[in-house]
């Protein structure tokens, strides 16, 4: 039996764009232009705290943008508050 390939000619499980999201993560997450991690929700305490801290430091506060998880995982880390337990490379169940 042949392994299933995606539209990018890769094994589906190995393609960052076509692989299903890891357990516990949605297919879309939220990021900000000034942030370094992705969040499951715009109500995440870590996201809100980061925005408050940026405001106190006189920095611009960026509106969270919804992005595909596959895109965010390539550019951002996972929030330690709302994505607890997820680590890149962790096995899918």
User: What pLDDT was estimated at residue 19?
Assistant: 63
**Rounded-to-10 torsion of CA 68, 24, 51, 53:** -140
Residues 6+ apart with CB under 8 A from 29: 38, 39, 40, 66, 67, 69, 72
Give domain limits for the chain: 22-93
pLDDT digits 0-9 by tens, 12-38 = 666 656 666 666 678 899 999 999 999
CA–CA separation, 29 and 41 (whole Å): 7
DSSP state string for 53-91: HHHHTTPPPPPPEEEEHHHHHHH-EE-TTTTTT--TTPP
Q: Which helix (H) or strand (E) holds 29?
A: strand 28-31
User: What pLDDT was estimated at residue 30?
Assistant: 96
Assess whether pLDDT exceeds 50 at residue 1: no
């Amino acid at each position: 039996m042949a392994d299933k390939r995606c539209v990018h000619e890769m094994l589906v499980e190995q393609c960052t764009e076509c692989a299903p999201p890891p357990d516990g993560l949605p297919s879309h997450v939220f990021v900000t232009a000034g942030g370094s991690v992705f969040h499951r929700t715009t109500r995440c305490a870590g996201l809100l705290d980061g925005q408050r801290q940026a405001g106190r430091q006189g920095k611009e506060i960026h509106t969270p943008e919804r992005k595909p998880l596959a895109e965010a995982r390539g550019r951002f880390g996972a929030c330690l508050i709302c994505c607890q337990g997820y680590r890149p490379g962790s096995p899918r169940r």
